[in-house]
Amino acid sequence: MLSLSTHEALFPSVAPTGTLSEIGMGKSGGIEGQVCPFSGSSLGASLGDRVASYLRRRFPVKTAQSVAADSGASIDTVDNWLRGGAPSLKWFVALVGCYGPEFLATVCPGLDWLDEAVIAAEKAEIAREMAALEARRRELGKK
């Protein structure tokens, strides 16, 4: 479970007025000048829409089934997200774990510090793809 200090590290410009568990349940009194991306307040609805959009872009076919398989959430839960319902903090963190900084940067725009993490993740994916292609090339050379 995230501690408040972890929340502050993830979102340094956002100062919550409630405890992290209250924020995760959307019970925070609000945030001065900004809204926490985990909150059930005004950003909550648009966060749900951004989550749905990201998931549909990532999995244009069998979206709910694919996300449920990746995240461990039930298909009913994922269907709720695809209708624009914001995931709970538990599932939000699970989605970040599944889809990495690209997901977080997409659904929580304005977190400039994520740019480097997104680039690093893309570079790592390219390196994995290159290694797989090189292994395939070597295998074909043996035939």
Q: Which CATH number fits domain 4-111: 1.10.260, 1.10.12, 1.10.3470, 1.25.40?
A: 1.10.260
- Crossing angle, helix 75-82 and helix 42-58, to 10 degrees? 110
Tens of pLDDT, residues 47-96: 999 999 999 999 999 999 999 999 999 999 999 999 999 999 999 999 99
The residue assigned the tokens 């993830």 is 10
Region 43-48: what's the mean pLDDT? 68
Q: Is the model's pTM score more than 0.85?
A: no
Region 9-35: what's the mean pLDDT? 42
Which two structure tokens, joined as six digits, stand for 118?
Answer: 């997104």
| Cα–Cα distances in angstroms (integers) from residue 102 to residues 4, 61, 108, 136, in the given order | 23, 20, 10, 28
Phi/psi at 69 (nearest 5 deg)?
A: -65, -40
- The answer to whether the CB of 143 falls within 8 A of the CB of 43 is no
Q: Where are the domains of the chain?
A: 4-111, 112-143
- What is the Cα 127 distance to its own chain's centre? 22
Distance CA 116, CA 82 (A): 28
* Range 65-78 burial, b when 16+ CB lie within 10 A, else e: eebbebbebeeebb
